[in-house]
Amino acid sequence: MRGILAGGEDEKVKKPHFEQLEEEVFVKLEEAFNKCSDGKPFFGGNNVGFIDITFGSFLPFMRVIEEINGKKVLVDDKFPALANWAANFAADSVVIGTLPKIEKLVLFTKALQQKWAAAAKVAAE
């Protein structure tokens, strides 16, 4: 994810990182979800469980990537089960109010991007 966020405005730099995110993370998570959920809304069945919480903790950062890059990364037509799980997870009463606000994470991430850019500039000198 850092490669996507640290890539700045250069789409050529970010493209392989987006592809890696899809191929190495979302494809495997979609497969795992389909295998584990047995058609139910969460990895372990009808209720949010440990695995849901573990993977769900990354959802806000996925939203930050989407916000900053202006494109959806967890695409419904490519990963329908995972996208549906993400919506169910975020809407579950156990989860509501516990995930960080995307707006705050975006501000934090933009501050990190500035630090990374400054560090890269100093390293290049």
**What's domain 2-124's architecture?**
Up-down Bundle (1.20)
Percent of the chain with pLDDT over 90: 57
pLDDT in tens, 49-77: 999 999 999 999 989 988 988 888 888 99
Average pLDDT, integer, range 26-31: 93
Going from N- to C-terminal start, the domains of the chain cover: 2-124
Question: 19-28, pLDDT tens digit by residue?
Answer: 888 888 899 9
pTM of the predicted protein model: 0.81
C-alpha of 16 from chain center: 16
